[in-house]
Amino acid sequence: MTARKSYRKEMSLELGGESLRLEISAMKRKSLRLHMKDDGVVDLRIPLGCPQHEVLAFVRRHENWLLERLRVLSERQSRLQTAIMVRGRQLPLQESALDEFLVTDQQIWVPPSWTASQRQKAIDDWLRTQARTEYQRMIERWWPQFAQYSSQRPLLRIKKMKTRWGSLSQRGYINLNLALMQLPQELMELVVVHELCHLKHFDHGPGFRALMTQCLPDWRQREQALKQMASYL
């Protein structure tokens, strides 16, 4: 790993009794960085010319973190096989004797003939329909308190985002993560209010925090609860 040109390669590494797949990208950068993707593959970015022994030593220094991430991913995958979280409640997945997809207040019925990808698409489509109604209702509820900061209400866009719950675009969009539908309503509300506060304060400075306190006096407690749920989800 001493080449001076950008490259990508894959390799396997035994760590703590687990076999890890590494996707290594060498590029112009000063430091090594690793990230475990949702499928358990380790995305490793390294500087050009970084020798292999340094790369392996770097990975082994993060052994405990990597093994913990694998454990969390394994638990998450196991949960997804049996239930999904909706509005803070677990809805069990059951095979449908009628071979149709149906969601009730108590559980989700799934055709037994479906593949995992078919099941996930149906769940995502249903969640997206629910999310559009839920998120839009919250935006409309809070809009009277924020209308003074914008000439028009931001347009809702629902996305799958890996690193954030929401964002506010200067082009007039409020982007909310589909995964918010897994959270209790008070935590959904926290994210919606957070993004609307950016209509007045586009940073997270004192003015932003004061406006959050004015809108949601307990927003810091909700934020802690959100962080705890994020680590679980």
List, in order of start, the domains of the chain with CATH numbers.
Answer: 7-61 (no CATH), 81-124 (no CATH), 127-232 (3.30.2010.10)
Give the Cα-Cα-Cα angle 110, 182, 210 (nearest 5 degrees): 165
- Percent share of the chain, pLDDT over 70: 94
Asked if pLDDT for residue 78 goes beyond 80, the answer is: no
Predicted pLDDT at 81: 65
Please tell me the predicted confidence (pLDDT) of residue 157.
96
- pLDDT for res 185: 94
User: Residue 119 is encoded by which pair of tokens?
Assistant: 């099941």
Burial of residue 176 (number of CB atoms within 10 Å: 0-12, 13-18, 19+): buried
Alpha helix (H) residue ranges in the chain: 52-61, 63-82, 116-146, 185-197, 206-215, 219-232
pLDDT at 142: 97
Whether the pLDDT of residue 82 is over 90: the answer is no
d(CA 89, CA 83): 10
Q: In this model, does residue 144 exceed pLDDT 90?
A: yes
Position 134 scores a pLDDT of 96
Residue 94 has which token pair?
């059951």
Tell me the per-residue pLDDT of 11-58, one tens digit each, with 9 for 90 and over: 888 888 888 888 999 999 999 999 888 778 889 999 998 998 999 899
And the tokens for 9? 């390669």
Q: Across the chain, what does the average pLDDT equal?
A: 89
pTM for the whole thing? 0.68
In angstroms, the CA 76 to CA 233 distance is 7
Question: What pLDDT score was predicted for residue 209?
Answer: 97
